[in-house]
Amino acid sequence: MITNVLEYLDASAARFPDKVAFGDDKTTLTFAQLRDLARRGGTYLAGRVGTKEPVAVFMEKTPACLAAFFAAVSAGCFYVPLDTKMPPERIKLIFDTLHPAFVFCDEKNEAAARAVAGQAGCELFSAACETEPDEKVLAAIRAAHVDTDLLYVLFTSGSTGVPKGVTISHRSMVDYADWLHETLDIDESCVLGNQAPFVFDNSTLDIYSTLKNGCTTWIIPRKCFSFHKTMMQFLAEHHIDTIFFVPSALIAIANSGILEINPPRGLKRIYFCGEVMPNRQLNMWRRAVPDAKYCNMYGPTEITDVCAYYIVDREFGDDDPLPIGQACANTRILILNDDGRPVAPGETGELCVLGTCLSLGYYNNPAQTEKAFVQNPLNTLFHERMYRTGDLARYNERGEIMFLGRKDFQIKHQGCYRIELGEIETALLAVPSVSNGCCLFDEAKDEIVCVYMGGEDERALAKQLKVKLPSYMMPNRYVQLDRLPMTINDKIDRVTLKKTHIG
């Protein structure tokens, strides 16, 4: 029985000691090197902090950063990735909740890390790795470990303005890594291309698939997502056959035209999660790389990355919505109406999740935990935790789950119409000249605001949307931009758009 993710690393280092585990455009770490650094850094930490303590990692997105994660785990602690470009004020808010026991940093960020560390110890990870591994100490730590111990905490935006720390256990990640191997064909032969920042839960597919299977992950340089010819070169040069990108990245590549000029024929698996993937751009990918396996995945950060998936098995029109399919193995999904009962066929309800994939709650935040992680209302006989995602969904005629958007994206318009903004966005993104966009709601003015990138002017765009939408769903205002603001996770930054265009 696997109870600790380091068992994956131990096994892969034994099988493939000299194989590259993680690499970028400057450095690589083999499995043996990765394990050695983890044990050295873990021994260093073990002499300075207790087990089950938070270790913040303030480093650039490199293979060494991943080694620092596993050093924290080797010491019986859990790691907390920090974005090095994060404002000091936000780091302070995180640290006020986290109270880290220690901070690992790299040379580039040493001054900034020491400035925010406060009472926590702080050291260059490279210096910590000069420590000789203490086999007896590390073995004792491993022997005391149980699979419900924390693996990591990721901080996400909170509705109150205070970041929330999502806690994920080893058990949850072991289940996820096993599911990826069994269902999505990720094995030792795969070469993955990493897009997601390490502060974003989508990165865990790349990280833990590599640890479990002994495959290789290459960290794709940021510049490749702006220069798509460079992206195609990087994919080809490193023989990357598997990618797990946010839809915005896939959309931008499709819209650039590079797929027609230089399609990435070596890709065998193209997976995506984090936003709605429009079928217009997905069809561009499917035409360019017809033999690849495509999978649409769904899961909020409070789930261990993914709780539902749909392996694309049929053709879709450009303006069709894409299912999120079915629950992952060992996961239960309920779609409940406002009365807490399962929805009827075709009825919309809130998507709720149960199973070992669930976060253990928000770190040092019992009030928010109690709001989101609740008793399953269908079970009155024993305690059964359920996560309320705040997302709306329904079943289609095939029994597949259809994601409809956030509950707070459902609006009441013109006094009587209940509208899912996601439905308008599906129509918007199916317009050939629109490269990306979203819809916002100005509650004070009762206006639907369409923000988009593309060549159409307002009148021409409205004319095309009228063919797809009833009159009461038509946007009242259009905002054409040369570029949409994006979050660090490469999602559309709706908060910034609301502040700029609604106020």
CATH number at residue 37: 3.40.50.980
Tell me the C-alpha to C-alpha distance, in Å, between residue 238 and each of 66, 216, 220, 265: 20, 10, 10, 13
- Would 173 be classed as within a structural domain? yes
Q: Are residues 201 and 324 located together in one domain of the fold?
A: yes
Rounded to 5 degrees, what are φ and ψ at 263?
A: -65, 145
- Would 273 be classed as within a structural domain? yes
Q: Are residues 123 and 210 located together in one domain of the fold?
A: no
pLDDT for position 434:
93
Q: Are residues 366 and 468 located together in one domain of the fold?
A: no
Tokens 């293979």 sit on residue: 63
Q: Are residues 21 and 104 located together in one domain of the fold?
A: yes
Strand 326-327: give its sheet, edge to edge.
Answer: 28-30, 20-23, 216-219, 191-194, 242-245, 269-272, 293-298, 308-311, 326-327
Q: Are residues 393 and 483 located together in one domain of the fold?
A: no
Domain extent, residue 95, equals 17-145
**Buried b / exposed e along 102-122 (16+ C-beta atoms within 10 A):** bbbbbeebbebbeebbeebeb
Of the residues 387, 408, 429, the one at which a domain ends: 408
Strand 349-355 and strand 331-336: pairing?
antiparallel
Q: Are residues 140 and 178 located together in one domain of the fold?
A: no
Of the residues 408, 430, 462, the one at which a domain ends: 408
Tell me the C-alpha to C-alpha distance, in Å, between residue 363 and each of 158, 164, 225, 467: 12, 7, 33, 48
pLDDT, tens digit, 9 for 90 and up, residues 163-207: 899 999 999 999 999 999 999 999 999 999 999 999 999 999 999
Q: Are residues 401 and 421 located together in one domain of the fold?
A: no
CA distance 307 to 327: 6
pLDDT, tens digit, 9 for 90 and up, residues 377-435: 999 999 999 999 999 999 999 999 999 988 877 777 876 677 888 889 988 998 999 99
CB atoms within 10 A of CB 278: 27
CATH number at residue 492: 3.30.300.30
Q: Are residues 136 and 33 located together in one domain of the fold?
A: yes
Q: Are residues 474 and 387 located together in one domain of the fold?
A: no
Q: Are residues 212 and 311 located together in one domain of the fold?
A: yes
Identify any residues that bridge with 453 across adjacent strands, giving them in sequence order.
436
What does pTM read for this prediction?
A: 0.90
Q: Are residues 58 and 182 located together in one domain of the fold?
A: no
Rounded to 5 degrees, what are φ and ψ at 271?
A: -115, 155
pLDDT for position 162:
78
Rounded to 5 degrees, what are φ and ψ at 48?
A: -125, -25
CATH number at residue 181: 3.40.50.12780
Of the residues 110, 145, 180, the one at which a domain ends: 145
- Would 482 be classed as within a structural domain? yes
- Would 187 be classed as within a structural domain? yes
pLDDT for position 407:
83
- Would 127 be classed as within a structural domain? yes
Q: Which residues of the chain have pLDDT under 50?
A: none
- Would 358 be classed as within a structural domain? yes
pLDDT for position 487:
86
Q: Are residues 277 and 422 located together in one domain of the fold?
A: no
pLDDT for position 66:
98
pLDDT for position 243:
98
pLDDT for position 159:
52
* Contact present, 135 and 90 (Cβ < 8 Å): no
| C-alpha radius of gyration, the chain, whole number | 23
Q: How many domains does the chain have?
A: 3
- Would 12 be classed as within a structural domain? no
- Would 156 be classed as within a structural domain? no
